[in-house]
Structure 1
Amino acid sequence: MKTILVNLEVSAALDATLACGIGVAREFGSYLEGLHVRPVQPDVIAAGADGFIAAAPDLVAGFEKDARERADRLRDAFEAAVRGAGLPRFTEPGSTGPAADWHLGAGAAANVLGSYGRIFDMILVGRPMADSLTPSTAALEGALFESGRLLMIVPPTATTFRMDRILISWNGSTETSRTIALAMPMLDRAKSVIVHSVEKGMVPGPSGEALARMLERRGQTVEVVDHPGDDRPVGKVTLDEAQRLGADLIVKGAYTQSRLRQMIFGGATSYILSNVEVPVLMSH
């Protein structure tokens, strides 16, 4: 976890996302980069009287002004946070220890985050909220499906970063196995790990007990909790149990069922992305 990318958007989750990014950088001595993706100015945004599409200079100027002010606000928030945490600005490529820098991208946030994020160990994004356009679901899914990296999804409530007690939401899937592998630096530093399974959410694959035995071979202290399931959605069972068991962090594979199916019928990933109150690590 030596290179961390934080996606910065003006949202209720901004302070929490910065706090968690700084917490990870301190824990692992990481380079932390704050990224804001500025939307590209549209070439044409108004219809002319002759039926052709024509540029509207006043609207273009307003678009540019808003985008510039938003970028300045986010840069100031990032720099204030890292300065308050005592993280030095990045200087040389060969330098070691925690450091931070700022990057301004341009384009569609989902595309930029999914592409640029491929060179980092982990990407932090804010948790989408039903009553707000930001944090962006599109940016989250771009990073999830296109970067190939570990994501930390941060809710507004996660104002401090802790990883003493980590819950693995195990369902036997390839997606969860991959997430565990990417999250292993955190799992190795946890004081305790909970392997939690919900019976009706399992797919063909190893049991929670089998996973626990392998983790114990790494010297980890592991507790196995198998839940038979009830009338609650699997995602709700997972979050309720994470709260009951005092988990600081959740590790979960994303979209074992197809994303389209989960959008239509619901699923554990969709429920957790909408409701989680502690950071969650995901990959696909």
Structure 2
Amino acid sequence: MYKSILAISEGGPDAVLSFRLAARVAVLFDATVDAVHFSEARRGDADIALQSMPFLKTDSDTRVEARARESERAYRELIAPLAGATFSGPGLKRARLVAMGRESSLLLLGRPGGDPENIAPETVHAALYECARPVMIAPPHADHRPISSVVVAWNGSAQAARAVGYAMPFLAKAQKVTVLVAGAAPDAVGTPFLVRTLGRHGIAAAVETMDSGEVSGRARGRALLEYTKERGAGLLVMGAYGHGGLSNFLGLGGATAKVIASCPMPLLLAH
């Protein structure tokens, strides 16, 4: 059961979206939310520009302060009314964030992407690879519908198994659970055992298959998103596949990265 939720914001558009979803999940499971504002110095062109044109630093510092105020304002409006809620402001270091994440039941973040106002991919990377806890990504549009239908992307892997285990509180409350097996025969990836185990927890799961053919990882990710959206699911559960580096987006496989960057509903991940 989720009793301690760590909600992370960088103060951009994700602040309200991630904090609102954290409040919804907290109410659903009678949990406590620890909200944090966390922002690492961005590398690359922005840093080069600041070095070559120091007069830009004032504007940069002003925006950093404004983003921290956005996080605090979203906390006051959405999370502070919940019993036991806490807020940690600017200055939080990555090591402290990771330590908090490892002691939480669930981490909740906004969606990463190319927009510098959204949460940084490095932050999601730290949550997935360093905290060893389930990570929920909030979609870019608020959805007030109850999470009554859940799709589980299943391939029999260790990551998928961890994701299912972490998602059990949601699965137990859902009215409909669908185990989607993509690109494999259900028996070949242990699907009957998964369904049997879920049944022992009182969860009646239906099994469906999807074969997107010999396509790229990103295409498989798109197919999974289309399936989940067509079924009207309120939550997608899947393993996060890839390596620990950041040589590509999040250091994850193409399908996982595509789903994270484009999922229109809450997404629960485990690595």
Q: One fold, TM greater than 0.5?
A: yes
DSSP-derived class of the 1:181 partner:
helix
Q: Counterparts of 2:246 and 2:188 in 1: how far apart (Å)?
A: 23
Residue correspondence of structure 1 range 1-284 to structure 2 within 5 A: 1-39=2-40, 65-82=62-79, 86-88=81-83, 90=84, 100-104=85-89, 106=91, 109=94, 111-160=95-144, 162-199=146-183, 206-230=189-213, 233-255=219-241, 263=249, 267-284=254-271
- Deviation per residue, 1:9-47 (Å, 9 max, x gap): 22333322122101111011111111002557xxxx758
The change in CA–CA distance for 1:34 and 1:258 in structure 2 (over 3 A counts) is: closer
Equivalences, count: 261
Equivalent pair of 2:4/2:104 in contact (CA under 8 Å): yes
**Which residue identity lines up with residue 126 of structure 1 in the other structure?**
G
* Structure 1 residues 109-142: Cα deviation after superposition (integer angstroms, max 9, x where no partner): 5x54333211110010111133445221110110
Normalized against structure 2, the TM-score is what? 0.83
8 Å Cα contact 1:126-1:153 kept in structure 2: yes
Instruction: State the shift of 1:68 in Å.
Output: 3.3
Contact preservation (8 Å) 1:250, 1:278:
yes
Supply the distance in 2 between the matched residues of 1:190 and 1:174 (Cα, whole angstroms).
23
Contact 1:172 1:204 in 2 (8 A): no
Q: Provide closer, same or farther for how the CA distance between residues 265 and 189 of structure 1 changes in structure 2, counting only shifts above 3 A.
A: closer
What's the % identity of the aligned pairs?
Answer: 26
Find the residue that maps to 1:67 and give its secondary structure: helix
Map Cα deviations across residues 67-87 of structure 1 (whole Å, 9 max, x no partner). Answer: 33332232122101235xx42
Amino acid at match of 2:181: S
Residue ranges of structure 2 left out of the alignment (5+ in a row)? 42-49
CA distance in 1, matches of 2:51, 2:207: 59
Over aligned residue pairs, what C-alpha RMSD do you find? 3.3
CA contact (8 A) 1:150 1:283 kept: yes
Shift of 1:228: 2.4
Matched-pair contact (CA < 8 Å) for 2:33–2:79: no
- 1:108–1:29 distance in 2 versus 1, CA, 3 Å: same
SS in 1 for 2:258: helix
TM, length-normalised to structure 1? 0.79
8 Å Cα contact 2:6/2:100 also seen in 1:
no
The residue matched to 1:21 in structure 2 has which SS? helix
Give the corresponding residue for 2:44.
Answer: none
Q: 1:26, 1:161 → 2: CA distance?
A: 14
Equivalent in the alignment of 1:52:
none
Task: Give the Cα separation in 2 of the matches to 1:29 and 1:112.
Answer: 25
| Structure 1 unpaired stretches of 5+ | 48-55, 91-99
Cα distance in 1 for residues equivalent to 2:123 and 2:156: 27
- The whole-number CA distance in structure 2 between the counterparts of 1:259 and 1:242 is 28
CA contact (8 A) 2:186 2:192 kept: no
The aligned amino acid for 1:23 is R
